[in-house]
Amino acid sequence: DIQMTQSPSSLSASVGDRVTITCRASQDISNYLAWFQQKAGKAPKSLIYAASNLQSGVPSKFRGSGSGTDFTLTISSLQPEDFATYYCQQYNGYPPTFGQGTKVEI
């Protein structure tokens, strides 16, 4: 299985900050990388697919980049509604696998 490793596991930030989360795959996944946001007690929400493409309706303050094995999610100007847990996922290899999550806290 392809292992997905996110860092950090958690971070503290303030409203207005810019934060960056990294995700590393254990082997080359090209750009078959997605990012999901999950708020406490809620279902995951798709933010980005193909490493850098925003899902419909997702604000441009979310930016994804990378290819191969190293990827990043950058959130600019953090707002209260952005405090959540973020997961990366590779969907090229079988089985699809998720990172362990990064909790963004105030």
Identity of the residue, 2 or 13, whose beta carbon is nearer to other proteins in the bound complex: 2
52: contact with other proteins by CB under 8 A: no
Q: How far is the CB of 33 from other proteins (least distance, A)?
A: 9
* Count of all residues that appear for the chain in the document: 106
Q: How far apart are CA 21 and CA 6, in angstroms?
A: 7
Q: Candidates 18-26, 61-69, 70-78, 84-92: pick the segment binding other proteins (CB under 8 A).
A: 84-92
96: contact with other proteins by CB under 8 A: yes
Judged by CB under 8 A, how many residues of this single chain contact other proteins? 24
Say if residues 46 and 55 touch (Cβ distance below 8 Å).
yes
68: contact with other proteins by CB under 8 A: no
SS3 82: helix
Q: How far apart are CA 90 and CA 34, in angstroms?
A: 6
Residues in 7-46 at the binding interface with other proteins, rule: CB under 8 A: 32, 34, 36, 38, 42-46
Q: How far is the CB of 98 from other proteins (least distance, A)?
A: 5
Q: How far apart are CA 82 and CA 86, in angstroms?
A: 10
98: contact with other proteins by CB under 8 A: yes
Q: How far apart are CA 43 and CA 46, in angstroms?
A: 10
